[in-house]
Amino acid sequence: MENDEVILLGFWPSYFATRVKVALAEKGIEYKYKEEEDMLSGNKSPLLQKMNPIHRKIPVLIHNGKPVCESLVAVEYIDEVWKDRAPLLPSDPYERSQARFWADYTGKKLYEFGRSLWTTKRGELLGGKKDFIDSLKLLELEALGDKPYFGGESFGFVDIATIGFYSWFYVYETFGNFSIEAECPKLVAWGKRCMQRESVSKSLPDRHKIYELIVEFRKKYGVE
C-alpha cells in the first residue's frame, strides 16, 4: 500500500468531507486534497461529476483511480483497506452495528436539523431549534453518556462521523440564539477532548470562517 495514490475531493467546511479527512489522518495515510465544490456558485468540477456521476457531490475518495462515494462508506473502506493500522470500527458485530446506527443518525438528524437553523429566517426558527437541541440531547444521553468517546475509551467510528459538526456549533448557536454547552455539556466536553487529537485539530475547519461563509450565503439567498 506504500505506493497507493489517494485523492480526496471535498469542500472545506463540509462535515462529511471532514469525516474522511479525520479517518485518513487516524490511519496515517498520505493523500492529495482537491477542493471541488463551491457552495455559493453551485459549480461542480468535471472530475467530481465523473467520479460521482450518481449524486455529483462530495466527498469522493479516489484510491488508485477508483472512486468511493458517500462519507461513511469511505470511512469504512479506509478501515478495511488499511486494516493493519488502528481500527476505526469495533471488532464485536453488535457494537459495530450500534456504531453504524449512531453514525447514520448524526448524518441524518444533526445535518437536517442543524441546516434548518442557518437556512431559516430568524423569526421562523422555533420548531427547528427545538428539534436540533432534542437531537443533540438524545445523542448525548443514549450514545455518549459518561464515556470519553462514543465507543468507550478509544476514539473511533462514531466520533469520526460526528466531530465535523463540532466546527458548526458556533453557527448553530449564533443563528439559533442558544448555548450548546448549556444544553449538552458532555457533548461539548467530548468535542474539546477530540480536538486534542492531531487528526481532528488539523482536519476541522475554522468555526469563524464557516460563520462568515454562512453569512454570505444568507445574504445571497435573502435568508434574514
pLDDT tens digits along 64-108: 999 999 999 999 999 999 999 999 999 999 999 999 999 999 999
Burial label for 202, CB within 10 Å (0-12, 13-18, 19+), is exposed
pLDDT of residue 6: 98
Q: Cis bond leading into 59, ω under 30°?
A: yes
32-35/66-69 β-pairing: unpaired
pLDDT of residue 138: 98
Domain boundaries in the chain? 6-81, 93-220
pLDDT tens digits along 105-126: 999 999 999 999 999 887 777 6
pLDDT at 40 over 70: no
Q: Which CATH number fits domain 6-81: 3.40.50.920, 3.40.30.10, 3.40.50.300, 3.30.70.260?
A: 3.40.30.10
Task: Name residue 44's beta-bridge partners.
Answer: 37
How high is the mean pLDDT of the chain?
Answer: 94
Q: CATH number of the domain at 93-220, please? A: 1.20.1050.10
pLDDT of residue 223: 85
Q: Which of 104, 48, 49, 55 shows the shortest CA–CA distance to 75? A: 104
pLDDT of residue 126: 67
Q: In terms of pLDDT, which residue wins out, 124 or 18? A: 18
pLDDT of residue 127: 74
pLDDT at 39 over 60: no
pLDDT of residue 1: 59
Helix (H, G, I), strand (E, B) or coil at 94: helix
Region 144-149: mean pLDDT is 98
Q: Which of 130, 92, 96 shows the shortest CA–CA distance to 113? A: 130
118 Cβ neighbours under 8 A, 6+ residues apart: 171, 172, 175, 214, 217, 218, 223
Neighbours of 18 (CB within 10 A): 27
Same fold yes or no, 6-81 and 93-220: no
pLDDT of residue 51: 96
pLDDT of residue 224: 73
pLDDT of residue 178: 94
